[in-house]
Amino acid sequence: MDRKLKKGNGNNELAIPTFNRIVPSIEVQKRIVCIRGLSVIIDADIAELYGVETKRVNEAVRNNPDKFPPDYMFELTSSELEDLRSKISTANLSSKSRALPKVT
């Protein structure tokens, strides 16, 4: 993750990380799953592809609504999550997470 120090305020605050990494298309294709008849990628997989924490991906979408369409991301139901876990062993689905994953 690329982080740069802000200059000017003297506090040496970290700047917001940017998603400026080029990801090979084969890596993206391997993470696409079908949910509700849509081809989507789990938020944790997006975060892994870009080398950031999952919460940073979700923050970026939540904090920049003008940059994403309203239906860009939705939360899985608990039954969809269990179904996904049983069918796709390669999906990045932590059983330790307190929140249901989001997909885009």
Per-residue pLDDT of the chain (104 residues; tens, 9 = 90+): 444 434 444 444 444 445 566 777 888 888 888 899 999 999 988 888 888 998 999 999 999 989 988 888 999 998 998 888 887 765 566 655 667 888 88
pTM of structure: 0.67
Residue extents of the structural domains in the chain: 25-103
CA distances from 83 to 16, 75, 77, 79 (A): 35, 14, 10, 6
